[in-house]
Amino acid sequence: MIYSCGYVKDPAGTVEDFQRDKLQRICEKLRLQPGERLVDIGCGYGGLLIYAAQNFGVSGKGCTLGKRHYERAKANVAAAGLSDKIQIEHAPFDSLTGKFDKLVSVEMIEHLRRSQYKHYVDVVSRLLTDKGMGLLHYIGCTERSNDHDPFIQKYILADTSQPKLSEVVGELEDHDMAVLDVENLVAHYGPTLLAWKKDFMNNSGGSTATATTTALNACGSTTWSVAPPRPSPRQARSITFFLPGTTTAAASPKNLRRRGTGGCLVTTEA
Ligand SMILES: C[S@@+](CC[C@H](N)C(=O)[O-])C[C@H]1O[C@@H](n2cnc3c(N)ncnc32)[C@H](O)[C@@H]1O
């Protein structure tokens, strides 16, 4: 299961297509080679590490703060027969140790305060080998005030924020890491949300709780092998409101013009 912006080659595709194509794009941008070590900061349910191990022959480590994420990531790794290759830690990003050839972090920076960006990039720098390469994928914005709107801030993504590209690039340069590539994914966010919404509505069975559970499941990929958590009725109502609303926001001319809502891929080299 992946819960971040997909990569949309064909808007008629499914969530599974979008997420698989996103994972493939990330792995290709990182130029993963068999035998390399990959670290995933904020690994969620472990889908990226599993995909990279299965399709590119890497081994690695991931961390997540969520206990449920940790348990399910461990279960997904075990179900894929990769427990000897992939280690999952239930720990904050700055407790990660070791050196890695490649680093990835997908829609995790948003959980940090701006004051933490420097510390975050300190850790990115520490984890990479001298010839290492990393890819940071996040929802960015172009404005000085980067807090989400009050509804999202309170009910969906509490305590999250959106970095400006210049903030991320500035930190990378201050840590002597060259920026190799930047890709704006704003045009991919609307179709991803629409696909989530479609599965959500198709599978609702008249119950928002069922719909949300199914939608969370549908956001996944072929690596999803453990039943998703059941949301509370309150969470289900919030997500019912959030999906259509955010789809509209992502497709709005203002956001498309400002490139203010959507993912951003920054590939960097130590
Ligand atoms: C939006 S999810 C994205 C998960 C995954 N990368 C994906 O694309 O499906 C954000 C992830 O970052 C993790 N996270 C947030 N803050 C963290 C921190 N301080 N240290 C480690 N992980 C963190 C969360 O626990 C969660 O697994």
Catalytic residue among 5, 63, 219, 264: 219
User: Ligand 1 pocket, 29 CB below 6 A?
Assistant: no
Residue-range domains of the chain with CATH: 21-185+260-269 (3.40.50.150), 189-251 (no CATH)
Q: pLDDT tens digits, the chain, 270 residues: what are they?
A: 788 999 999 989 999 999 999 999 999 999 999 999 999 999 999 999 999 999 999 999 999 999 999 999 999 999 999 999 999 999 999 999 999 999 999 999 989 988 999 999 999 999 999 999 999 999 888 776 655 667 777 777 777 788 889 999 999 999 999 999 999 998 898 888 888 878 777 766 544 444 444 434 333 322 233 344 555 666 656 656 666 556 555 555 555 444 444 455 676 665
User: Ligand 1 pocket, 85 CB below 6 A?
Assistant: no
User: Ligand 1 pocket, 35 CB below 6 A?
Assistant: no
What per-residue confidence (pLDDT) applies to 244? 59
The pair of structure tokens assigned to 228 is 């998703």
Hey, which residues does 106 pair with through a beta bridge?
Answer: 137
User: Ligand 1 pocket, 11 CB below 6 A?
Assistant: no
Q: Given ligand 1 and candidates 51, 65, 116, 160, which is best to mutate, with the most ligand atoms within 8 Å of its CB?
A: 65
In angstroms, rounded to a whole number, what is the distance separating the alpha carbons of residues 178 and 244? 38
Q: HEC string of the chain?
A: CCCCCCCCCCCCCCHHHHHHHHHHHHHHHCCCCCCCEEEEECCCCCHHHHHHHHHHCCEEEEEECCHHHHHHHHHHHHHCCCCCCEEEEECCHHHCCCCEEEEEEECCHHHCCHHHHHHHHHHHHHHEEEEEEEEEEEECCCCCCCCCCHHHHHHHCCCCCCCCHHHHHHHHHHCCCEEEEEEECHHHHHHHHHHHHHHHHHCCCCCHHHHHHHHHHHCCCCCCCCCCCCCCHHHHHHHHHHHHHHHHHHHCHHHHHHCCCCEEEEEEEC
What per-residue confidence (pLDDT) applies to 216? 43
What per-residue confidence (pLDDT) applies to 226? 39
Q: How many angstroms is it from 42 CA to the middle of ligand 1?
A: 3
Q: How many angstroms is it from 87 CA to the middle of ligand 1?
A: 15
Which atom of ligand 1 is found nearest the CA of 65? 25
CA distances from 20 to 4, 28, 110, 181, 232 (A): 12, 12, 22, 21, 29
Q: Given ligand 1 and candidates 108, 112, 148, which is best to mutate, with the most ligand atoms within 8 Å of its CB?
A: 108
Specify whether 141 is catalytic. no
Q: Residues, the chain, total?
A: 270
